[in-house]
């Protein structure tokens, strides 16, 4: 089966860091654009970052720019989200998603492979 397997996440204090992993199983992630989304309680799913299939060009929304870094390890068939200087408002369930079209986009409907999500909680 073609799946995205997520790991990482957890509880951290404000200002701390976490690294999320998104590993593809059953297909080559290098041919896909990959994005990270998050959903906080009572809110809609929000796209926060993506990396292209062509040349690993990256995009970030303003609220995470300068704090979060998305990277790809082609050999490990994995995309990462390094999260630094975490804030309480970053608390959410984080999802990775893969898109075979290859556009740099944070539109959820354009992604066809989804991870199950991992909880990130930022609290003192």
Cα 8 to Cα 22, 34, 83, 119: the distances in Å are 9, 17, 11, 9
71-93 tens-digit pLDDT: 999 999 999 999 999 999 999 99
Per-residue pLDDT of the chain (124 residues; tens, 9 = 90+): 899 999 999 999 999 999 999 999 999 999 999 999 999 999 999 999 999 987 889 999 999 999 999 999 999 999 999 999 999 999 999 999 998 887 788 999 989 899 999 999 999 9
State the maximum Cα–Cα separation within the chain, in Å, rounded to a whole number: 41
Query: Helices H, strands E: what count in the chain?
Result: 0, 11
- 19-48: b or e for each residue (b if 16 or more CB lie within 10 Å)? ebbbbbeebebeebbbbbbbeeeeeeebbb
Asked whether the beta carbons of 104 and 35 are under 8 A apart, the reply is no
Q: How far apart are CA 95 and CA 84, in angstroms?
A: 17
């Amino acid at each position: 089966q073609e799946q995205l397997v997520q790991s990482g996440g957890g509880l951290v204090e404000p200002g701390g860091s976490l690294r999320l992993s998104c590993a593809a199983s059953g297909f080559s992630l290098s041919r896909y654009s990959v994005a990270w989304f998050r959903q906080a309680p009572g809110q809609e799913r929000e796209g926060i970052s993506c990396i292209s299939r062509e040349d690993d060009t990256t995009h970030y929304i303003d609220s995470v720019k300068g704090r979060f870094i998305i990277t790809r390890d082609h050999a490990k068939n994995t995309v990462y989200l390094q999260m630094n200087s975490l804030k309480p408002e970053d608390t959410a369930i984080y999802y990775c998603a893969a898109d075979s079209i290859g556009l740099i986009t944070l539109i959820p409907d354009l992604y066809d492979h989804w991870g199950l999500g991992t909880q990130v909680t930022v609290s003192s």
